Amino acid sequence: MIERRPIGIFDSGIGGLTVARAIYDLLPNESLLYFGDTAHLPYGEKSPELIRRYSSRITQHLVESGCKAIVVACNSASSNAIGAIVKAAGPNVPVIDMVTPVIRSISAEDGCQSVGLIGTRATIASGLYGETMNQLNANSTLVSRATPLLASAIEEGFFNDSIPGAVLEAYFADDSFNNIDSMILGCTHYPLVRENVQALLPKGVKVIDSPKIIAQELKRVLTENSRPYTPEHKFQVSDLTENFIFSAHYFFGSDINLEEVSFS
């Protein structure tokens, strides 16, 4: 039955687990199928062409696995491959990206006039956040900075360590974000170091909760007329690493269905 079909979520690694957890909290009766492309991380340092190739193949896999919606829990893929992902998903499977719902949410709020953005090189270079903001909220300005070392540090399991703080201090040293009122964490890894980011920003700057916004957007998009049932959650990776195992257990406990999937 259609209501038992899972929601497909993918990222290059552990970052998308922040989005998966937000979806799990908001939609506890929905089944999830998560795919982490750990064999090819990080996406933020890949070419747009390669990001599109990886993202299209994963989307095809999730659709073939019966997913009723696709959440692109990766800003690099959302910024560089959304057209290819939508095409791979087909007309009957909705796709939720990380960019449009967040900018739409910010645009609906009062007081968001100068917005900061940190993300991978691929995300910042795409310019999609700025383009989307110009379309939805032309009165706001965007101050963006690529922070390429940060996602790799988090992926290596250092999000409970002092290393991300030191990396962020180096990126924030020129005071570019001194006059912003809101900050977008433009990589799904970054909510894991949200407190480090908040500590470096001027008092009163709001750090946007992107995973929560994406979960709310998914809830809006899904048409749910189903009876309650016991959900099943699966986590798949292209390379089963110790870091991913640790992070998956960190977010969802030890009793999870975790498997390695290879594409031929």
Residues annotated as part of the active site: 74, 187
CA 78/CA 180 separation, integer angstroms: 24
**140, amino acid identity:** S
Bridge partners of 255, per DSSP, are none
Tell me the Cα Rg of the chain.
Answer: 18
Question: CB-based burial of residue 173 (10 Å sphere; 0-12 exposed, 13-18 middle, 19+ buried)?
Answer: exposed
CA 19/CA 81 separation, integer angstroms: 18
For 30, the token pair is 């929905």
Q: What are phi and psi of 36, to 5 degrees?
A: -110, 120
CA 70/CA 256 separation, integer angstroms: 20
**11, amino acid identity:** D
CA 5/CA 30 separation, integer angstroms: 8
**Helical H runs in 27-112?**
48-64, 75-89, 100-107
CA 189/CA 157 separation, integer angstroms: 11
- Pick left, alpha or beta for residue 204 (phi over 0 → left; psi -120 to 50 → alpha; otherwise beta): left
Nearest to 208 by CA among 218, 199, 198, 200: 198
